[in-house]
Amino acid sequence: MTKDLAARNTGWDEPTGPTPAPRFIAEVSSNHQTDLDRCLAFVDRAAEIGCDGVKFQLFRVRELFAGEILEQSAEHRTRARWELPTRFLAPISQRCRERGLAFACTPFYLRAVAELEPHVDLYKIASYELLWDDLLLACAQTGKPVVLSTGMADLAEVRHAVAILAAAGCRDLTLLHCVSGYPALAADANLDAITTLGRLRHDAPGVHLQTGWSDHTVEPGVIDRAVHRQGAAMIEFHLDLDGRGEEFAAGHCWLPEAMAEVIRRVRVGFAADGSGSKVPASNELEERSWRADPSDGLRPLRETRATWAP
Domain residue ranges in the chain: 3-271, 280-310
Closest CA to 188 of 156, 154, 151: 151
Closest CA to 279 of 271, 288, 267: 288
* Calpha distance 186→234 (Å, rounded): 18
pLDDT at 18: 57
* Calpha distance 273→297 (Å, rounded): 33
Sign of the CA dihedral with 219 first, then 232, 154, and 63 last: positive
User: pLDDT 10s per residue in the chain (310 long)?
Assistant: 333 443 344 345 555 555 689 999 999 999 999 999 999 999 999 999 999 999 999 999 999 999 999 999 999 999 999 999 999 999 999 999 999 999 999 999 999 999 999 999 999 999 999 999 999 999 999 999 999 999 999 999 999 999 999 999 999 999 999 999 999 999 999 999 999 999 999 999 999 999 999 999 999 999 999 999 999 999 999 999 999 999 999 999 999 999 999 999 999 999 999 889 999 999 999 999 999 999 999 999 999 999 999 9
Question: Distance of alpha carbon 204 from its chain centroid, rounded?
Answer: 22
pLDDT at 3: 35
Residue 37: count of CB within 10 angstroms of its CB: 9
Sequence-distant (≥ 6) Cβ neighbours of residue 33 within 8 angstroms:
244, 245, 246
SS3 189: coil
Pairing assessment for the beta strands 122-125 and 234-239 based on DSSP bridges: unpaired
* Phi, psi for residue 55 in degrees, rounded to 5: -130, 135
* Calpha distance 130→153 (Å, rounded): 8
DSSP state of 73: -
* Calpha distance 243→245 (Å, rounded): 6
Q: Assign a CATH topology to domain 3-271.
A: TIM Barrel (3.20.20)
pLDDT at 275: 87
Question: Distance of alpha carbon 281 from its chain centroid, rounded?
Answer: 32
What is the enclosing helix (H) or strand (E) of 177? strand 172-178
Q: Which residues on adjacent β-strands are paired with residue 305?
A: none
pLDDT at 20: 86
* Calpha distance 226→232 (Å, rounded): 6
Over residues 140-181, the pLDDT tens digits come to: 999 999 999 999 999 999 999 999 999 999 999 999 999 999
